[in-house]
Amino acid sequence: MLSLKNIVKNYGEGENTVAALKGVSIDFRRNEFVSVLGPSGCGKTTLLNIVGGLDRYTSGDLVIEGKSTKNYSDKDWDAYRNNCIGFVFQSYNLIPHQSVLANVELALTISGISKAERRARAHAVLEKVGLKDQVHKKPNQLSGGQMQRVAIARALINNPEVILADEPTGALDTETSIQVMELLKEVAKDRLVIMVTHNPELAERYSTRIIRLLDGELVDDSMPYVEDDVKGDKVSRKPRMGYRTAFALSVRNLFSKKARTILTSIAGSIGIIGVALVLALSNGFNIYMTRMQTDTLSAYPLTISESSIDLSSFNEVYENEMVEKYPELDNIFVQGAFENLIGMLKSNKLSPEFLAYLQEMDPELYYALQYDYGFDMNKYVFSDITINDRGSFTAIDTIIQMIEHQYAAAIPPDFGSMGVTTGFVRSYVPTMAEMPAKQLIEEQYDVIAGEMPTFEKDDYNQLVLVVDKYNNISDITLFLLGYIGGDIDLSAAWGDSFHFDEIKEIDFDKLLNSKFYLADNDAAYIYDNVRNTYKNSIQPSEGADKSAFEELEVVGILRPKENATGVLDTGLAYSSALKEHVLEKNLETENQTIIEAAKNGEKGEVAVLNELSGQSTGMSVRALAGNSSPSKISIFAKDFDSKTAVKSHLDGWNAGKEEDDEDYIAYSDMMDMMFGMLNTMVDAVSYVLIAFTSISLVVSSVMIGIITYISVVERTKEIGVLRSLGASKFDIANVFNAETFLIGLFAGLIGIGVTYLLSIPLNLILGSLIANVGALVVLKPLHALILVVVSFVLTLIAGLIPANIASKKDPVVALRTE
C-alpha cells in the first residue's frame, strides 16, 4: 500500500547541501508494526515526515495505493494526512487551550464531520485508550503517559491506514513506555504502524519488522516486503476546516490569555470611541438644529416678495472669477462691485396667473397662504392712551413713533456707534401682528382666558392678547390698552425722560373685552390746511368723535404651549379677516384724496405728519391700503416634507424659465439658508475631528497586527499540529483571521459601549451649560453598527500579513519549535 522508490532528501543548496536520505527504497505491508532504528541524524525522522506528507522528497517517488505523489498539490497532501495518516509525537503536541475531547476531535473537525458523530467517535476512542473519565481536562492536568495516550487517540480518531510514531516513549518512564507500546501493538493489528525509536529492546519486543538506517541509507530490513499487494486508488475527501472551527480555536486561545485579550481590545477601542463621540456630537447637533428648525418652521415661512435681495449671492459681490488668486502680474483689476450689488436686487411679478397657480397647491401642505398688501395695521387701529395725565385718541403706530422719537432724542451720541437706533428699539416694541391660520395658532398656543377667534370673515373685529410662557406682558402693551399711563419729561436726564406708571400684575378679566377702534383712510389721516399737509388723526380722549370708527375687542388671551416656539410675539394679534376688511374698506372709501395725492406725489408718495413726534413719513398708495395686489406672500408649511412639496410646486412654475425671465419667481427660505450654513460648519468640524481621531484607528490596527504576529510565533507548534492533522494553509490563515476578527469585534463593541456610557455624563454636563439643548451626544444605531464593522474590517486587514506568514510555515519546522 505504501512504497518509497529511491527517495532522496537534501537540505540546503550548492556547497551547503546536506543529504538526509540517499536513495532509500522500502515497501510497507498493509498491517505491520515497523520500527526504524539508527543513530541520531541518520534520517529516521526525515523518513517519517516524508511518509506522513509533512516534508517533500528531493527526488524519487512516494507511491500510495499504486499512485505516484510526484504531482500532488498542497490540497492533495492535506487530504492524505487527514484521511490516511495519524501522527504520534514524542512531545505529544497537544493544543494546551483545548480540552482532551477537543484535541481528539480536531482531525474529524478538519474533515468536516458533524458534531454528533465527532463526539461519539471521540468518546469511543478515548475509552479504547483508557481515558474515558478525562475528557474535559486540559493537557496540563494530565500525566505524561495520559497525554501520550491522548495523542494516540487523536491519531486513531480518523481511522487512518498509517500511524506514524516519532519516539512515542522518549519522554516516558519504563512502565508507561510499556503501556504505550502495548497500545501501539494492538493498533498495528489492523493497520500499518511505523515507529522511530532509539530503544532497540522495545523495538525487538513489540515490532514485527525492524529497519535500520545509517547516514541516510537503508542498511538492514528484518522482513522486507517484495510481493505486489497493491489496491486500487482510494478516493480521499478533501479536508476543510470550517469557519466555526477556526472561530472556536481562536476563542479558546483568546480566553486562555484573557488579560492580553482585554487590554488589546481596549487599546483597539480608543480610536472607535474617538470617532463615535465625534459622530455622536455631530448627530446630536444635527438633531438639535432639526428640532430648532421644526420649532421655528412657522417663524420663518417661505416668502415670495415683489422685491427682495438675493442673500445667496452676497459672497459673489467682491469676487472676480476672471482672475486667478495671487497673480504674478503688475496690473490692478477693477471689480464690478456696484453691478454685483445691483444684481442682488430681485423682483417678482406676482401676476394673477401666478396667484391662481399658487391656489392650485394642495391645501394639506400648508397652514396658510398669508398675503401682505404692504400696509401697516397699526396705522388703522386706534386706542385711548394717557400721556402726562392727558388722554389722547390716536393710532397705535402714531404712539409707537412717538416712543421711538423720544427714545432717539434721549440716546447719547456714543450709543449710535454701537448700533442702538430707533429701528433697534422698534423691534422690541410690541405692536399688532397677524395670526397666520387658526390651526397653526391652536397647535402652538393655549387659550388661558376668553376664547380663540373664529377667523371667520364676519368676525374680523376679534383680537387676542399674547403673553409669554411666564404670563408676562410688556408695559408698552398695557399702555396701548390704556390701563397704564406714561409720562414724558424732555428736560430729564437720559433714561428718566420717559416712563410708565408702575404696575406689577393685572387680572385676566380686566384685559378681556378691551376695546380698540378701526379707522379707514378718511378717519386715520386728515388734511391740515394751515400746514398744507396730511397728518395722523389725534383727538383728546374726552369727547373724541368715534362715529367713523369700528369697534375691535380682545376676546382671548393666548400663551405658548410647553416646548412650542410660537409664531407670534407678545402683544396684540388679529386674524387675516381684519386685514382683508381694511383693504376692502379703503378701496371702497368715498374720499380717495390721500390716495390720489400719493399717486400724484413725488416718488408716488404723500407726506404724513406725526404731531406727537414732529416727524413726517412718506406714504405710498400701497402703504395706504390702496392696492389689492399682494406685495409679499408667506407660505406656512406644516412640516419639512410639506415644505419640500411646496418648493416643488413653486419650481413647477419656473420649469422652462430662465432666472432673468419676467415671469420667473424667486422665493426665499431664510431658515434653510441659516441652518444650511450651520450644518455645513458642523459637518466641516466633524470631518476634521474624524480625520484626527481616525489616526488612532490606524495606530491600533498596526498594534493589533503586531500582536497577531506575536500570537503566530507563540502558536507555531499548534500550526504544525494542525497541518499534521490535514489542515490546509487556508485553514491556518483562517484561524488567525478569526482571531483578529474577534479582537476587532470586541474592540468595536467596547468602543460603542463606552461611547453610550460617556454620552450620559456628557449630556448632563452640556445640558447644565446650555439651556433647553436636550441631548447633544446621540450616537445613531446605524453609525454604531458601521463603526463595529469598520473595527473588525481594519483588524482583519491588519492581521492579513501575520495570518499569511502563519499559513506558509513549514509544518516540520513548526513541530520542532518549542
Confidence band for 427, pLDDT divided at 50, 70 and 90? low
Nearest 5°: phi and psi at 432?
-80, 135
Mean pLDDT, residues 442-466 taken together: 94
Q: How far is residue 601 from each of residues 421, 536, 590, 597, measured CA to CA in Å?
A: 29, 18, 20, 6
Mean pLDDT, residues 135-156 taken together: 89
- Name which of 176, 177, 165 is nearest 201 in CA terms: 177
Q: What is the CA radius of gyration of the chain?
A: 48
pLDDT of 338: 64
In terms of pLDDT, which residue wins out, 186 or 678? Answer: 186
pLDDT of 232: 47
Confidence band for 395, pLDDT divided at 50, 70 and 90? confident
Q: What is the pLDDT of residues 237-294, one digit of tens each?
A: 566 666 777 777 777 777 777 888 888 888 889 889 989 998 998 888 888 877 777 7
| CA dihedral of 772, 774, 777, 780, whole degrees rounded to 10 | -150
Q: What is the pLDDT of residues 539-557, one digit of tens each?
A: 887 778 888 899 999 999 9
Residues 704 and 714: their CA atoms lie apart, in Å, by 15
Among 600-604, 672-676, 761-765, where is mean pLDDT lowest?
672-676
- Name which of 805, 774, 785 is nearest 292 in CA terms: 774
- Mention every residue, 6+ apart, whose C-beta is less than 8 A from residue 800: 737
Question: Pairing relation of β-strands 32-37 and 192-196?
Answer: parallel
Question: Pairing relation of β-strands 632-637 and 615-620?
Answer: unpaired
pLDDT of 632: 92
Helices within 482-575 (DSSP H only): 508-511, 521-524
Q: Are 274 and 765 in contact (CB under 8 A)?
A: no
pLDDT of 477: 81
| CA dihedral of 136, 141, 144, 150, whole degrees rounded to 10 | 10
Q: How far is residue 577 from each of residues 29, 388, 459, 609, measured CA to CA in Å?
A: 112, 36, 7, 29
Residues 754 and 751: their CA atoms lie apart, in Å, by 5
Mean pLDDT, residues 533-543 taken together: 83
Q: What is the pLDDT of residues 656-704, one digit of tens each?
A: 888 888 889 988 887 777 777 777 887 888 888 888 888 888 888 888 8
Question: Hey, how many other C-beta atoms are within 10 angstroms of the C-beta on 807?
Answer: 21
Assess whether pLDDT exceeds 70 at residue 211. Answer: yes
pLDDT of 455: 93
- Name which of 796, 809, 808, 810 is nearest 736 in CA terms: 796
Top-confidence range, 456-465, 692-701, 709-718: 456-465
pLDDT of 410: 61
Assess whether pLDDT exceeds 80 at residue 491. Answer: no
Q: What is the pLDDT of residues 470-488, one digit of tens each?
A: 998 888 888 877 778 777 6
Spacing of C-alpha 256 from chain mean position: 35
Question: Hey, how many other C-beta atoms are within 10 angstroms of the C-beta on 324?
Answer: 9
Percent of the chain with pLDDT over 70: 89
Which residues in the chain are classed under CATH 3.40.50.300? 2-238
Query: What would the grid cell of residue 205 be?
Result: 519486543
Residues 380 and 518: their CA atoms lie apart, in Å, by 6
- Mention every residue, 6+ apart, whose C-beta is less than 8 A from residue 212: 36, 37, 38, 218, 219, 220, 221
- 47-69 burial, b if ≥16 CB within 10 A, otherwise e? bbbbbbbbbebeebebbbeeeeb
Nearest 5°: phi and psi at 486?
-130, 150
Residues 257 and 697: their CA atoms lie apart, in Å, by 23
Assess whether pLDDT exceeds 70 at residue 636. Answer: yes
Residues 187 and 466: their CA atoms lie apart, in Å, by 100
Q: What strands lie across the sheet with 302-305, from one edge to the other?
A: 302-305, 632-637, 366-372
Q: What is the pLDDT of residues 770-805, one digit of tens each?
A: 877 778 899 999 999 999 999 989 999 988 999 999
Q: Are 592 and 517 in contact (CB under 8 A)?
A: no
First-to-last C-alpha distance (Å) of the chain: 34
Residues 392 and 404: their CA atoms lie apart, in Å, by 17
- 533: three-class secondary structure by DSSP: strand
Helices within 518-570 (DSSP H only): 521-524
Q: Which residue do the cell numbers 390698552 mark?
A: 481
Confidence band for 761, pLDDT divided at 50, 70 and 90? very high
Assess whether pLDDT exceeds 50 at residue 382. Answer: yes
Q: Are 404 and 426 in contact (CB under 8 A)?
A: yes
* Secondary structure string (H, E, C) spanning 379-392: HCEEEEEEECCEEE
Residues 247 and 804: their CA atoms lie apart, in Å, by 17
pLDDT of 217: 93
Among 39-48, 240-249, 298-307, 341-350, where is mean pLDDT lowest?
240-249
Query: What would the grid cell of residue 614 be?
Result: 414732529
Mean pLDDT, residues 633-639 taken together: 90
Report helix angle 729-769 to 716-724, nearest 10. 130
Assess whether pLDDT exceeds 70 at residue 71. Answer: yes
Top-confidence range, 289-303, 443-457, 575-589, 713-727: 443-457
Q: To which CATH superfamily is domain 2-238 assigned? A: P-loop containing nucleotide triphosphate hydrolases (3.40.50.300)
Question: Mean pLDDT score of the chain, rounded to an integer?
Answer: 84
Nearest 5°: phi and psi at 393?
-115, 110
Q: How far is residue 767 from each of residues 277, 289, 639, 774, 790, measured CA to CA in Å?
A: 16, 15, 27, 6, 31
pLDDT of 236: 55
pLDDT of 60: 93
Confidence band for 490, pLDDT divided at 50, 70 and 90? very low
Q: Are 44 and 36 in contact (CB under 8 A)?
A: yes
Give just the sign of the alpha carbon dihedral 805, 806, 811, 815: positive
Residues 654 and 669: their CA atoms lie apart, in Å, by 16
Top-confidence range, 596-600, 609-613, 641-645: 641-645
Q: What is the pTM of this model?
A: 0.65
DSSP category for residue 668? B
Query: What would the grid cell of residue 582 be?
Result: 381694511
Nearest 5°: phi and psi at 61?
-160, 140
Residues 145 and 173: their CA atoms lie apart, in Å, by 9
Query: What would the grid cell of residue 425 be?
Result: 428699539
In terms of pLDDT, which residue wins out, 345 or 616? Answer: 616
In terms of pLDDT, which residue wins out, 439 or 251? Answer: 439
Residues 183 and 196: their CA atoms lie apart, in Å, by 16
Assess whether pLDDT exceeds 70 at residue 402. Answer: yes
Q: What is the pLDDT of residues 318-373, one digit of tens each?
A: 555 555 777 777 777 776 666 666 666 778 889 999 999 999 999 999 998 999 99
Confidence band for 179, pLDDT divided at 50, 70 and 90? confident
Query: What would the grid cell of residue 403 be?
Result: 416712543
- Name which of 364, 575, 579 is nearest 452 in CA terms: 575
